[in-house]
Structure 1
Amino acid sequence: MGTTVTAPVPSRYAGLSRAELAVVVPELLLIGQLIDRSGMAWCISAFGREEMAQIAIEEWAASSPIYTRRMQEALGYAPERPGTGDVVTIFKGLQLDIGAPPQFMDFRYTVHDRWNGEFHLDHCGALMDVEPMGEEFVVSMCHDIEDPTFDATAVASNPRAQVRPIHRPPRVPAGRKPHCAWTVIIDESHPPVEGIAALAVVQRSRAATLELAPIDTEDDGLSDYTGPLLSDVDFGAFSGSALARIADEVCLQMHLLDRAFTVAVSARTDEAGTRRIRRKQLTGVAGIAAERLARALDLPATPDGATRLLALHPLLNPAAYVNAGITADATAVEVRRGPADEDGAWVSLVDPDDVGPLQAVVRALDPHFDVEVSPLTDGTDGWRCTVVRRDEPAREDDAVAVTRFSTGAGFAFEPRRSLPLTPV
């Protein structure tokens, strides 16, 4: 008997044009950064500043090594042997990391040679968000969190990489630019960085090993990032197929980050407390993400536009992870059980009795919009979401309002020239 080969699930983003995708990918990277602007506010409230910082460390250290390797492999710049990457490998990874979205976290890179480099941030959106909160919060982010998580991210490329500060906030003198500067040195004499215990937990998730649709190398445009390191990634130079894969990988980064966040939070509270914090996190970022995507794609403020927005939202992507789709008559989104449910991912926080995150998405287009969610009638495990319009506008959800505090909510990308960087 022959073996049945199942083709990878096509990306929902493949339905966008190449030009649309070139706009959407940096938006998704920035949306990923805003997850913490949402979630950490509720962690501070529940556990205090010091525990919030520890949660952030565990969250990023348990997810970034996984998704960094995934992006290396997807775009062809993974080292020949795992763990032998150079500074260019590390810098390319940062350019495609939700922890360092382009321009909002404006990394500028210098490569001295394969094993020595530097970067500085001309603009740090995270610092702009935290600085008004006081020096203690700046130290928590720029010292307590950054030291272990920069090394944890680098370990995906080379465990003997060390990322060390030249200078960093609190800014002295006030308003100092660049906001911070760091060296990256790979040396065989450095003790290898080892992953934290939670990394092994997240590695067992479906998201960690999920197979996504391969990039069509015959499609017009770049299909990989094997060329020189660029000062700014020109997303418009990639093919539509490559951009759809990048978009799916970036959504998966968000789910891996949330999986690690769940592990960290659940170690500090009970199941009900973990779910409450996770739903606040999801609702907050869902609303702001929807605003940014709707604006980027110029979606109409109609029920059809809101339905399309739901289908393209990171909550329900990538398609290989979240089993969802627009109905044949384009009037609703149907969600069935899939790999994301096995991981307890964002979609598992939504059901017919708990629709706050879905409401946050559709109300980003029009506060009069609402959703009607009901169980599927075909006997499968899932639900159907239909967008409806109410007579009275809804007030903004508190979780969305908290996330709007971030300067990332209204951040505008600017055109940049993409220049190759060579060793100096």
Structure 2
Amino acid sequence: MPRPPALCELSLDQLAVLVPELLLAGHLIDRAGMPHAIAAFGRDGMRNIAIEEWMGASPVYTKRMQRALAFEGDGVETIFKGMQIDVGAPPQFMDFRYRLHHHDRGEFWLDHCGALMDVEPMGDEYVVAMCHDIEDPTFDATAVATNARAQVRPIHRPPRRPADRTPHCAWNVIIDESHPPLPVPEQAHRIAATRAARVELDPIDPDEPGGSDYSGPLVDDLRFADWSRSALVRIAEEVSLQGHLLALSFLMALRARTDDEELVLAIGRQQLTGVAGLVAERLRVALDLSGDLDGAAAVIAVHPAFGPRAYVDIDVELTDRLVVRLGPGGAARADGAWPSLIDADHLEPFDALVRGVDPRLRGEVLGDGPEGLVIEVVTDDEPAREADEVALTRFSTGADFTFAERGTPVALRPT
């Protein structure tokens, strides 16, 4: 049966557009999930959930990306390279700038922080929760994947005084033998045991034209069009896994606070619904896809909720009909990751995704048995109202963010 192009079949130009979109999609996960965490557990509960979520996922996926792109090391340069390909720091939206002093010392600052732009209107208490309470332990948790004696400490950070202060924040990163070694967070040990953390992906072809790894010097910006096609496929798959790992860590943090599994699953579905719809809309525009069944099939094929294929058991068939099968197997279902939250009684995340392509689309269950959940995408006469979960996620300035071409990357040498 005809199928839309899989990730590995996209052109280099398409992949170069897709990768930053996937990084931003991962960042929008919290914009989609945290409003519902606040409703259930309050602002302090949300703060603690976010801390545990990022401390669980970040050390795991940071190490995966280092290995995939061959830049493992124990210095500040390695830490900075990891930040550049991290859903916590999507390029330009979180405009990290770097200065590398030597192996054990560097600085970074944010000329623009999209997360701050989202939170600042909510008041100083929310800014402190994000820029102090959450960042302090989670920056260190990211650094510990590289060196247990690395410390990330603020030079200055919000709340901004004066209100228009730039850069939005600045930080020192220092590795010193006198620093007590930080342990790998307990949450990260649990996330490391998931199938998402251990899934094997296709290696990068070192003989393809373009960059195949990041073993060279740190550069000020990653221009993804400079990479090889197989490298971009691997990066896209790793970034999609970052989203799954973050969502699994989010669910784990919820379960630490309640025995009500239905509440946990409901919040997980609300998170997935919000991010699925908004990301589908952005992907359709970014890849210049049609707002019809063809476009919906193409979006489903590359949407981070349903990738990588080594992790998610999914089949997409497109003829004069669009039929999607979410299989009963696959590591994602065994982990209880996003695809497992979609079932015959809960199509809301799937409906939000296809309506991000065309608001007239929705899913209709054709079967739910040993072969998995089979859904046909059908077209209604009238557009559906946007889901509340998508509307909440749309409050993020990331919803309308536009990436720009910023020229040739410049190598950053130790000063």
TM-score normalised by the chain length of structure 2? 0.96
Report what 1:70 is aligned to.
64
Q: After TM superposition, give the deviation of residue 303 of structure 1 in Å.
A: 1.0
Report what 1:290 is aligned to.
280
Report what 1:372 is aligned to.
364
Which of 102, 106, 117 is the aligned partner of 1:113? 102
CA distance in structure 2 between the partners assigned to 1:328 and 1:412 by the alignment: 30
Q: After TM superposition, give the deviation of residue 312 of structure 1 in Å.
A: 1.3
Which of 42, 50, 55 is the aligned partner of 1:56? 50
Q: After TM superposition, give the deviation of residue 223 of structure 1 in Å.
A: 0.7
Query: Is contact 2:364-2:378 (8 Å) kept?
Result: yes
Report what 1:423 is aligned to.
414
CA distance in structure 2 between the partners assigned to 1:73 and 1:388 by the alignment: 42
Q: Secondary structure at the match of 1:48?
A: helix
Identity %: 57
One-letter amino acid of the counterpart of residue 77, structure 1: F
Report what 1:3 is aligned to.
none
Report what 2:16 is aligned to.
22
Q: Deviations over 1:61-101 (max 9, x none)?
A: 0110000000000000012xxxxx10110000000000000
Q: After TM superposition, give the deviation of residue 29 of structure 1 in Å.
A: 0.3
Report what 2:217 is aligned to.
228
One-letter amino acid of the counterpart of residue 19, structure 1: D
Query: Is contact 2:7-2:301 (8 Å) kept?
Result: no
Q: After TM superposition, give the deviation of residue 195 of structure 1 in Å.
A: 2.2
CA distance in structure 2 between the partners assigned to 1:285 and 1:301 by the alignment: 19
Which of 328, 331, 335 is the aligned partner of 1:339? 331
1:389 is aligned to 2:375: no
Q: Deviations over 1:163-219 (max 9, x none)?
A: 000000000111100000000000111011112222221111000111001111122
Q: After TM superposition, give the deviation of residue 328 of structure 1 in Å.
A: 6.7
CA distance in structure 2 between the partners assigned to 1:373 and 1:411 by the alignment: 34
Which of 331, 356, 359 is the aligned partner of 2:348? 356
Q: Please, which runs of 5 or more residues in structure 1 have no aligned partner?
A: 1-10, 80-84
1:253 is aligned to 2:247: no
Q: After TM superposition, give the deviation of residue 387 of structure 1 in Å.
A: 1.4
Spell out the pairing of 1:243-282 with structure 2 (5 A cutoff): 243-269=232-258, 270-282=260-272
Query: Is contact 1:307-1:387 (8 Å) kept?
Result: no
1:301 is aligned to 2:295: no
CA distance in structure 2 between the partners assigned to 1:258 and 1:133 by the alignment: 24
Q: Deviations over 1:109-137 (max 9, x none)?
A: 00011110000000000000000000000
1:104 is aligned to 2:98: no
Query: Is contact 1:12-1:319 (8 Å) kept?
Result: no
CA RMSD, 1 decimal: 1.2
Which of 161, 169, 172 is the aligned partner of 2:150? 161
Q: After TM superposition, give the deviation of residue 394 of structure 1 in Å.
A: 0.4
Report what 2:172 is aligned to.
183
Which of 305, 309, 315 is the aligned partner of 1:315? 305
Report what 2:135 is aligned to.
146
Query: Is contact 1:25-1:247 (8 Å) kept?
Result: yes
CA distance in structure 1 between the partners assigned to 2:182 and 2:315 by the alignment: 41
Q: Deviations over 1:127-166 (max 9, x none)?
A: 0000000000000000000000000000001110000000
Q: After TM superposition, give the deviation of residue 327 of structure 1 in Å.
A: 2.4
One-letter amino acid of the counterpart of residue 15, structure 1: E
Query: Is contact 1:165-1:182 (8 Å) kept?
Result: yes
CA distance in structure 1 between the partners assigned to 2:62 and 2:53 by the alignment: 14
Q: Secondary structure at the match of 2:363?
A: strand
Query: Is contact 2:364-2:377 (8 Å) kept?
Result: yes
Aligned length: 407
Q: Secondary structure at the match of 2:146?
A: coil
One-letter amino acid of the counterpart of residue 190, structure 2: V
CA distance in structure 2 between the partners assigned to 1:235 and 1:373 by the alignment: 38
Query: Is contact 2:107-2:171 (8 Å) kept?
Result: yes
CA distance in structure 2 between the partners assigned to 1:141 and 1:152 by the alignment: 15
CA distance in structure 2 between the partners assigned to 1:170 and 1:328 by the alignment: 50
Q: After TM superposition, give the deviation of residue 309 of structure 1 in Å.
A: 1.1
Report what 2:398 is aligned to.
408
Q: Secondary structure at the match of 1:98?
A: coil
Q: After TM superposition, give the deviation of residue 300 of structure 1 in Å.
A: 0.5
Query: Is contact 1:287-1:363 (8 Å) kept?
Result: yes
Report what 2:26 is aligned to.
32
Query: Is contact 1:61-1:152 (8 Å) kept?
Result: yes
Q: Deviations over 1:24-79 (max 9, x none)?
A: 00000001000001111111111111111110000000110000000000000012
Q: Deviations over 1:244-274 (max 9, x none)?
A: 0000000000011111111100111210110
CA distance in structure 2 between the partners assigned to 1:279 and 1:44 by the alignment: 15
One-letter amino acid of the counterpart of residue 234, structure 2: R
Q: After TM superposition, give the deviation of residue 385 of structure 1 in Å.
A: 2.1
Q: Please, which runs of 5 or more residues in structure 2 have no aligned partner?
A: none
Single out whichever of 45-54 and 86-95 deviates more from structure 2: 45-54
Query: Is contact 1:275-1:349 (8 Å) kept?
Result: yes
